Amino acid sequence: MDKKELRKLSKNELIKNIFANRDKYILLLEEENKLLKEHITKLQEKITEIERKLKFYENPHTPSSKQQKRNTEKKEEDNNKPRFPGKPEGSSGGGIEIPKPVRIEEHKLYVCPISGKSLGEPIAYRTKIVIDFPDKPIEVIEHHIMQYISPVTGEIIEPIVHLPMLMMANIRHKRLKEDDNFSPRS
């Protein structure tokens, strides 16, 4: 009988059914009990084998690199510290202060180099800062390289600009964190 049929029976009918099938239930329970005992025996054998293997790593002759690690819990203080090296946020750092540009040059395209069609207004520009050391006073020039959407391919295009190579590649400063900045045109 399945669960639905058993639920339809009254208490008395259920009791009669249990007594009528008592021997069958006892056999099922004995079989289940036997299977559980076998399973417990197998688990105990596995535990014994694992404990035997563990003893190899817990004797005084085991090198420290092979020993089981102990006391590896982190302290509460360590949870608040970041796990990466570097300058803390908000620190002024050790970079140099780049002066404001003397002039700003805009590099534009008027026609698409692929199709020759008119481009209209630029959609954005990226910034390159060039520090030039002509003689004594340094000259800082900010170049805005205008970017357009090609009417043919839909890709962002920009003019080819020949800027002097930056001799000091490791210059870091507060005003510009990356060499290429992307700024949407407003």
The answer to whether the Cα torsion of 152, 158, 162, 167 is positive or negative is negative
- Looking at residue 83, its pLDDT comes to 64
For residues 84-89, give the mean pLDDT.
70
CA distance 147 to 158: 5
Chain segment 34-84, per-residue pLDDT in tens? 999 999 999 999 999 988 888 777 777 777 777 666 666 655 555 666 566
Q: What is the pLDDT of residues 108-138, one digit of tens each?
A: 888 888 888 888 888 888 888 887 776 667 7
The model's pTM: 0.31
pLDDT score at 103 = 85
The enclosing H or E element of 43 equals: helix 22-56
Of residues 133 and 141, more confidently modeled: 141
CA atoms within 13 Å, Cβ hemisphere of 136: 0
Pairing of strands 181-184, 139-149: unpaired
11 contacts 4 by C-beta, under 8 angstroms: no
For residue 89, give both structure tokens.
């946020």
User: Of 144, 103, 127, 131, whose CA–CA distance to 179 is shortest?
Assistant: 127
6 Cβ contact partners less than 8 Å away, ≥ 6 residues apart: 14, 17
